[in-house]
Chains A and B, each alone.
Chain A
Amino acid sequence: MTPLYMAFLGGGLLCLIGQLIMDLTKANITPGHILVGYISTGAILSGLGVYQPLVEAVGAGATIPLSGFGHLLVQGTLKAVERDGLLGAFSGGVEAAAAGITCAIVFGYVAAVLFNPKD
């Protein structure tokens, strides 16, 4: 099991990189850009085989950041390709991330219906 301080350190550093991107670049970087950037980068690093060692080292410190979500999508895809070939390339990602995506949409919808923005 990964110790808590490793998760803290890993997750903290990944967030710190995001902060540096927002503060030091001139372009209008919005949270949406950060999210898209992290999921894509995580997926690419996962495809290159770099992300798995990071997950082994810092555990949730690498899976909780959105780059970990990209990693999950890619690992699911790669596994499904081994199993089902070409079809797996299209089905594996959603399969692996199904719970997370469904939770996000359903909890998101319910929270939006139940609560009001403050005024």
Chain B
Amino acid sequence: MNVDAKKMHQIEIQEYQNLVDGIKPKPDVLKNCIWAFLVGGAICALGQLMLNYLLSLGMSRIDASSTVSCIMIFLAAFFTGIGIYDELGKRAGAGSIVPITGFANAIVASAMEYKREGYIFGVGARIFSVAGPTLVFGFAVAVLIGLIKVFLSS
């Protein structure tokens, strides 16, 4: 393609993008945000309810926090298994993705769907298709911050 043809193609692409932008329906941001706020808030409030209960039993804050996370993960795994969590996700969007329950949902959903490819390279491998990148970035940032602290304090 010579320079002029390339330029023409670029213009065509830009013009088409403008046409698409004019016609393509936008997501209903307000409605989605209200759903995300309510569902995300409710999930966190549920977590707080459990946390407050465990603290009132005299559990340490760190242990209570970990226990709540485990219970939330269990609940999300269960509701994903019986096919309810994805129905919630269709409406709640980020409201059901951002909480740790969304992390558990992503793990179970990808693992479950590959059961028919076997328990080792189906479920066992796919369990990390979303969890893997998440943990990789979490660990990478944590170790980096740890190294900075080691460097600063030496």
The short answer to whether A and B are in direct contact, CB under 8 Å, is yes
A interface, CB within 8 angstroms of B: 1-2, 4-24, 31-32, 34-36, 38-40, 43-44, 46-47, 58-61, 63-70, 72-74, 76-78, 80-81, 85-86, 88-90, 92-94, 97, 99-101, 103-105, 107-118
> Size of chain B's interface in residues, with CB distance under 8 A?
79
Q: Does B148 contact A (CB under 8 A)?
A: yes
CB neighbours (8 Å) of A103 from chain B are 69-70, 73-74
A94 to chain B, nearest CB (A): 7
Known interface pairs A13-B37, A19-B94, A99-B66; A93-B146 also in contact (CB < 8 Å): yes
Which one, A21, A74, A100, A112, contacts B145 given CB within 8 A?
A74
C-alpha spacing A23/B66, complex, angstroms: 32
Contact with A along B70-85 (1 / 0, CB 8 A): 1011100110111100
Secondary structure call for the A interface = helix
C-alpha spacing A17/B56, complex, angstroms: 32
Q: Count how many pairs of residues, one from A and one from B, have CB atoms less than 8 Å apart in the complex.
A: 289
C-alpha spacing A34/B123, complex, angstroms: 23
18 additional contacts (CB under 8 A) given A7-B47, A16-B95, A99-B66: A7-B41, A8-B44, A11-B43, A12-B36, A12-B40, A15-B36, A15-B39, A18-B93, A31-B106, A32-B130, A35-B103, A35-B134, A65-B99, A70-B142, A77-B146, A103-B70, A105-B127, A112-B108
Which one, B29, B55, B70, B99, contacts A100 given CB within 8 A?
B70
Contacting pair B133 A112 (CB below 8 A): no
CB neighbours (8 Å) of B39 from chain A are 15
Contacting pair A69 B139 (CB below 8 A): no
Contacting pair A112 B37 (CB below 8 A): no
Contacting pair B111 A23 (CB below 8 A): no
Contacting pair A8 B133 (CB below 8 A): no
Contacting pair A66 B145 (CB below 8 A): no
